Amino acid sequence: MIFHLILLHVLIHFVGFTEGQPDFLGHYCLPDGNFTENSSFKANLDSLLSTLSPNIQENGFYNASQGQNTDQANAIALCRGDVQLDTCHSCVTNATQKLVQDCPTQVSAIGWYDFCMVRYSNSSIVGRVDTRFSLQGRNPTNVSDVDRFNGVLQSLFDNLRGRAAFEGPLRKYATGNTSLTNFQYLYGLVQCTPDLSADQCSNCLIETAQKIINFVNGAEGGRILGASCILRYEVNPFFNQTIQLDVDQPSDGDDNSTTIIVAIVVPVVALILISVSVFLLMRKTRKKKIVEQVETIEDISTVESLQYDFNTISIATDNFDDSNKLGQGGFGAVYKGCLSNGQEIAVKRLAKDSGQGDLEFKNEVLLVAKLQHRNLVRLLGFCLEGTERLLIYEYMPNASLDHFLFDKVKRSQLDWDKRYKIIKGVARGLLYLHEDSRLRIIHRDLKASNVLLDEEMNPKIADFGMARLFVFDETQGNTSRIVGTYGYMAPEYALHGLFSPKSDAFSYGVLVLEIVSGQRNNLFRNGDHLGDLLSHVWKNWRDGTSANVIDPILMSNAASIHELVRCIHIGLLCVQESDVARPTMESVLLMLNSFSLTLPVPSEPAFYMRSGIESEVSLFSEDPVSDSKLINSKLLP
């Protein structure tokens, strides 16, 4: 048995590493400008680059800067997580030389080998995600069942992403395998530069995984090498599986034991090596040719076209005059403005110190601006000046849904057809954010005041992607800073900071119930009691008196009652305590569009409230099962 295991190790060593001399895969000389031969920048760069290789740390990473201000040179080097330190040194040395040769005058450049990446720039690199440049490679052999394959690939990358981003701060690297068929495995590798936060790493990998799946389109192997993260997968093991990643700094003890094992095993294994060589020979003959393609650097000009001049915006908003203030949100005030060409805009002036570097902010704006859907408010651009950060959106003349829904007079403008259109439109917008966009955004603060209305009362979701544009101290999927609004927040988010598409589904459910009832969830009146909408709806649903919940002005149109009741049902499914039981936005849309679809029976919603326990007690005290309910319900402090 032990013998068998050792054999396996040796086999893996040979199978995994027979690629010979790794080739230089590619590089970019970035269009950030040129230096002159005798400049002090050039002197700084040269001296900086000579320090890279010798200083590589145990985790295969090194970053450094040299010089001041405009003469400052910045560089990083990163080796693939499974590469031995001596190979790493040599790889970085070679990459540095090659890069300087190929980009003789440029102030910024990036180059990749199989085993390492080197990057330098005249602006700061560390701690920023940059997904503008990448090399993409694809194996020419295609799999037969692309859909299934993509599913397997996606889940492999999801799994690796979680491990790379959140395990061990020193090395953001993970490899793994998953079975593709009974006989075939898929091997994956992901890595981020370790200077990134867990959240940044995770976002980089999400975006790159999406890119690779679109790019490879069913190829048996592929990779994307980016400046901040890399991904690769093959049907053969291409990395060193024996590396111990749970120990960030491999101890001498470990090394000794491996050498000893190998030393003992070598004579025993000699015979087997012959068969291994045969195997390798066969493998060599069908050695994969990775076709490297170069992605165009379109994004740089896009950034410029999205950037507005601070003066322009200041003039457009009358120097942020209070009379132009449309509202104040958690991230800053919003002003109405009018550009000199007559275009109306809404300007969000972010609270000072969003905690992000300029370049990173630009990158995030670029990503969020690419999210375009008819049910999302369009981000037109941004402005950066000193500490000022502005986001410029299209202007929505009809303001937000709450202005109509909760207004005694204006609510009559929202008949059921309009409300139903809003319910569906918001679901479509959310579905796009969750599933269809490249970024998989969780909104985290969906509520009536974040649903804006255009001239035709079409809904457009606002404030999405704010978590990307405003850095919090958090990790993906688990945040210490809650950005939502009490009453709309799923219990797991409000209590533990856990967010997911299912926590958005909860907020959506609350919104649907508000739209049907015309009542605010958190200021809900039931007779003399100040209670919460969810328990009111739940009680009536349970007692078969759903009609009590419906906004009286909607009751005149009897034909729509079945739609209304179905929406209550869907709303209740979305606000269930268990996030697993809540439907995805895709299912919600199916339910809304297909009346023949039988809906599951909802379980009791999550009850919790922010305001005084007294009012909650008085509400529950009418109910014979109040005590157990009160215990079950999660009260916020």
Annotated binding site for ATP: 348
- DSSP 8-state code for residue 583: P
Q: Which residues are known to be catalytic?
A: 445
Site of interaction with ligand NAG (CB under 6 A): 13, 17, 21-22, 32-34, 37-38, 63-65, 70, 84, 87, 90-91, 94, 105, 107, 113, 115, 122-123, 126, 140, 142, 176-177, 185, 217, 237, 240, 242-243, 258
Identity of the residue, 114 or 579, whose beta carbon is nearer to ligand NAG in the bound complex: 114
- DSSP 8-state code for residue 439: S
Report, in Å, the least distance between residue 132 CB and ligand NAG: 16
Report, in Å, the least distance between residue 403 CB and ligand NAG: 44
Report, in Å, the least distance between residue 287 CB and ligand NAG: 16
Query: Smallest Cα–Cα separation from 517: which of 384, 396, 600, 423?
Result: 423
Report, in Å, the least distance between residue 347 CB and ligand NAG: 26
Query: Smallest Cα–Cα separation from 139: which of 287, 28, 22?
Result: 287
Identity of the residue, 116 or 377, whose beta carbon is nearer to ligand NAG in the bound complex: 116
Report, in Å, the least distance between residue 148 CB and ligand NAG: 16
Measured in degrees and rounded to the nearest 5, phi and psi for residue 197 equal -75, 165
Contacting residues for 16 by C-beta, under 8 A, at least 6 apart: 237, 238, 239, 240, 241
Question: 439 pairs with which residues across the strands?
Answer: none
Q: How many helices (H) and strands (E) does the chain have?
A: 19, 22
Identity of the residue, 43 or 589, whose beta carbon is nearer to ligand NAG in the bound complex: 43
Q: Which is it for the CA torsion 253, 259, 263, 268, positive or negative?
A: positive
Identity of the residue, 272 or 523, whose beta carbon is nearer to ligand NAG in the bound complex: 272
Identity of the residue, 87 or 210, whose beta carbon is nearer to ligand NAG in the bound complex: 87
Measured in degrees and rounded to the nearest 5, phi and psi for residue 80 equal -60, 145
Q: Rounded CA gap, 492 and 578, in Å? A: 9
Amino acid in the structure at residue 339 = L
Could you tell me whether strands 24-34 and 106-113 are parallel, antiparallel, or unpaired per DSSP bridges? antiparallel
| Residue number closest to ligand NAG, CB atom | 33
- DSSP 8-state code for residue 370: T
Q: What is the dihedral of CA 533, 535, 540, 542, to 10 degrees?
A: 150
Report, in Å, the least distance between residue 17 CB and ligand NAG: 4
Amino acid in the structure at residue 167 = E
Amino acid in the structure at residue 604 = E
Report, in Å, the least distance between residue 436 CB and ligand NAG: 21
Tokens of 2: 């032990």
Identity of the residue, 15 or 326, whose beta carbon is nearer to ligand NAG in the bound complex: 15
Identity of the residue, 224 or 534, whose beta carbon is nearer to ligand NAG in the bound complex: 224
Cβ–Cβ < 8 Å for 123, 359? yes
Query: Smallest Cα–Cα separation from 53: which of 21, 86, 25, 22?
Result: 86
Q: Rounded CA gap, 535 and 582, in Å? A: 17
- How many Cβ atoms sit within 10 Å of the Cβ of residue 454? 15
- How many Cβ atoms sit within 10 Å of the Cβ of residue 336? 19
